Amino acid sequence: MKKSIPILLLLLSVSSACNAKIDIEYRITVVANSKSSYGLSVRAPASDPKQLVPYWHLKAKEICGSKNYKNSQLIKKETQCGDALRVNRSGQKCEVIPASVFGTLRCESI
C-alpha cells in the first residue's frame, strides 16, 4: 500500500497539470488577395511551444469550419527574454516574450 501512494500522487499531479488552463492569444490575418488563406499565430506563457501546436490546429479547424485545411510548416519559438528591462526592488527583470507558434493555412473544399 505504501508503494502505491506515491504513484497515485504522481498521477493526480499529472492529471491536474493536464487540466490546467493556459491563457492563449490568437492572431489571425487574412493573406492579401485571398479569401481562403490566413496567417495564424498562437501565443501563451508556455515554456515549450510544442504545447501550443494542438491549439493552433484547433483554431485552424474553427477558422475553416467544415472545409479541410492545409498548413505551412509551423514556426515554433520558445519563451524568450526581450530587450526591455523592468527594475524593481528585487533587481532587474527582462520583458518576457511568450512562446508562440505561427503558420499559414488554406481552407479547401472537401
Please indicate, yes or no, if residue 7 is contained in any of the structural domains: no
Please indicate, yes or no, if residue 5 is contained in any of the structural domains: no
Predicted confidence (pLDDT) per residue in 74-102, tens digit: 999 998 888 888 888 888 888 888 899 99
Please indicate, yes or no, if residue 3 is contained in any of the structural domains: no
Please indicate, yes or no, if residue 62 is contained in any of the structural domains: yes
Please indicate, yes or no, if residue 92 is contained in any of the structural domains: yes
pTM for the whole structure: 0.70
Please indicate, yes or no, if residue 63 is contained in any of the structural domains: yes
The total domain count for the chain is: 1
Please indicate, yes or no, if residue 69 is contained in any of the structural domains: yes
Please indicate, yes or no, if residue 78 is contained in any of the structural domains: yes
Show the domain range for 38. Answer: 21-108
Predicted confidence (pLDDT) per residue in 9-18, tens digit: 333 333 334 4
d(CA 56, CA 32): 21
Instruction: Look up residue 107 and give its amino acid.
Output: C
Supply the DSSP string of the chain, one letter for each residue.
-TTHHHHHHHHHHHHHHHT-----EEEEEEPTT-SSEEEEEEEES-S-GGGGHHHHHHHHHHHHTTSEEEE-PPEEE--EEEEEEEEETTEEEEEEEPEEEEEEEEEE--
